[in-house]
Amino acid sequence: MSRTGPTRWQAEILRRAEDIVRAQARLLAAWRAGYLTGHQDGWKAGYERAHADRDQDWSAFAKPVARELARSVGLMERRWGPGGREHFADPRPGDYPGGEYPPRQALVWLAGPPVHRHVCSDACYAYAPGAYSPAQAAEVLATLPGGYEGSQK
């Protein structure tokens, strides 16, 4: 009698052993997935707890400090003025008292192409563009090349 393969009971043992190995592999994979999920949930819960603790600690620390700081440096006085909040809208020194507004002095704006209708010279670069009184503007224009209305050039 020659043997070509495992006997029936040996084949059954091999089949059951393979079932056991596959079951162990499934259990190991499920354990790994559960461990990773728990690990991630734990990190998340830990950070949430830490942030909540930090916020609570910060409020307990910062609110009294902010109150004391505002009192010690006179923050409310700087914010509302010397009379406090109740007198915030009162007139202050230097405020416009009402009535007729004083006349503004007319100014002449010297800059750009209307002034520089010529080949610019050092005289052009000697003054800063901006608002000038009429007398100052006439002096500046008198130094520039080219003829302007009212100038002798």
Per CB under 5 A, residues contacting Zn ion are 116, 120, 124
97 versus 150: smaller Cβ distance to Zn ion: 150
- Minimum distance, C-beta of residue 107 to Zn ion, in the bound complex (Å): 20
- Minimum distance, C-beta of residue 124 to Zn ion, in the bound complex (Å): 3
DSSP H helical ranges for the chain = 8-72, 75-80, 122-125, 134-143
- Minimum distance, C-beta of residue 122 to Zn ion, in the bound complex (Å): 10
123 close to 145: Cβ distance less than 8 angstroms: yes
60 versus 128: smaller Cβ distance to Zn ion: 128
103 versus 112: smaller Cβ distance to Zn ion: 112
Q: How far apart are the first and last CA of the chain?
A: 137
Question: Beta-carbon neighbour count of residue 81 at 10 Å?
Answer: 15
> d(Cα 80, Cα 96) in Å, to the nearest integer?
19
